[in-house]
Amino acid sequence: MTQQSEQADGESAAPAAPTRRPTVKQVAAHAGVSHQTVSRYLRGDQGMKPATIARIEQAVRELDYRPDLVARSMRTGRTRVLAVLLPSPVQALPTPTLAAAAEVAHQAGYFMEVAVVDGGTPERVERARDLLGSGRVDGVLSMGALPGLEERPRTPEAAALVVHPQFDDRLRGLGALADGSVVAEAVEHLAGLGHRDFLHIAGPEEWASARSRRRVYEEAVARLGLTSHGVVSPGAEWDAWGPRSGYDAVAALPLDSPVTAVIAANDNVALGAIRAAGERGWAVPGRLSVVGWDDAEFGRYATPTLSTVAVDRSAQGRYAMRRLISLVAGEEPVDAPEQLNRLVLRESTGPAPARPGRPRTIDT
């Protein structure tokens, strides 16, 4: 055997040279647009036509395009890193909001870091101040209030800041996430089906969302001339959001209770209410109609399927991150989503039952 053949048998083939990553110009050519248009897409520009966005996204997928963040950072002086600050302690991460924000950041060529800051508002303000002046990030998105920093003027040497106070210091929803106005739509819909006697199984008063839904419920019932047979908020704070809260509230109703409609704090509470109704022989929706909140996946497969309020938490994450990216790029801020919450009607709501002395009436 010759030396050459021994080498051929004993040595593995040399690894293939790595292929060069696709460039923005190649993505543009593949999509049939200019490279400036691709750059706008990567910055999260929302003024682009949907057809153009679709072509660029297809090109990105087919070419497996990944932005060269190191090269870009050296060229532009930017790190392409964005930080999201969350209050602590964390009892339930706002996963849909963070996932949507991360998706927008990734599409625009940024890394997204999440920092959960121990302590209260002062500690979060201090952490944000450090990050803004560190040179390590291009922007900071705070999901909690930052008193004293929110009105600070933007300086070239500091990172961009967007304060989107969706949560308080315990990660309880605020602002649009706490908007209970859709409860009025639910009450109006049920009143249109002939319901006149209502019960609200509320969340804990410590939550802005629970207070808002209760207030809207009471206002809607009074405005429409309906009867509320109480607002029930039993149990400890987290127990009050669970099925036991709804179960106990319906189980405690007298057998001859005139209540035919229940507005529940969330879908878990609604599930407990439906369970208790079933054990009492009260058909849902034949005897009792129930509306939840959150549009949890289990509600779409329950028996009956659950009428509820869908909350688009992902829209909040997308909006907040796009706003930050626009500020980093020196562009006009994007518009906020018009509505996060919408009523979803399913099988758990129906016409009010007729009772002796009170014929069934349905508004038309």
CA 23 to chain centre: 33
Tell me, yes or no, whether 35 and 74 share the same domain. no
Q: Residue 16 above 90 pLDDT?
A: no
Is the pLDDT assigned to residue 280 strictly greater than 80? yes
Asked whether residue 318 is assigned to any structural domain, the reply reads no
Task: List C-alpha distances in Å: 350 to 28, 182, 189, 220.
Answer: 53, 18, 10, 19
123: pLDDT strictly greater than 70? yes
Q: Residue 280 domain-assigned?
A: yes
Q: Mark whether 215 and 278 lie in a shared domain.
A: yes
The answer as to whether 52 is a domain residue is yes
Q: Are residues 192 and 249 in the same domain?
A: yes
Domain of 249?
176-312
CATH code, domain carrying 39: 1.10.260.40
Q: What is the pLDDT of residues 20-36, one digit of tens each?
A: 778 888 889 999 999 88
Residue 306, domain CATH: 3.40.50.2300
Based on the fold, state whether residues 188 and 306 are members of the same structural domain. yes
278 has pLDDT over 50: yes
Q: Do both 163 and 290 map to the same domain?
A: no
Least Cα distance to 188 among 152, 151, 216 occurs for: 216
Is residue 349 included in any domain, yes or no?
A: no
Mean per-residue pLDDT, 295-319: 93
Residues 121 and 53 in one domain: no
Same domain, 157 and 237: no
Give the chain's domain count. 3
Which of 149, 171, 193 is a domain's end point?
171
Any domain includes 201: yes
Residue 262 belongs to a domain: yes
Q: Which of 292, 312, 332 is the last residue of a domain?
A: 312
Confidence band of 156 (pLDDT split at 50, 70, 90):
low
CB-CB contact of 149 with 131 (8 Å) = no
The answer on 257 and 299 residing in a single domain is yes
Q: Are residues 59 and 95 in the same domain?
A: no
Shared domain for 135 and 105, answered yes or no, is yes
Contact 55, 28 (CB under 8 A): no
Residue 87 forms part of a structural domain? yes
Instruction: Tell whether the model's pLDDT for residue 263 goes beyond 80.
Output: yes
Stated pTM of the model: 0.69
Q: Are residues 213 and 303 in the same domain?
A: yes
User: Is residue 241 a contact partner of residue 268, using CB atoms and an 8 Å limit?
Assistant: yes
In a shared domain, residues 211 and 122: no
Three-class SS string for 99-163?
Answer: HHHHHHHHHCCCEEEEEECCCCHHHHHHHHHHHHCCCCCCEEEECCCCCCCCCCCCCCCCCEEEE
Of 139, 171, 203, at which residue does a domain stop?
A: 171
Nearest to 270 by CA among 203, 192, 181, 178: 203
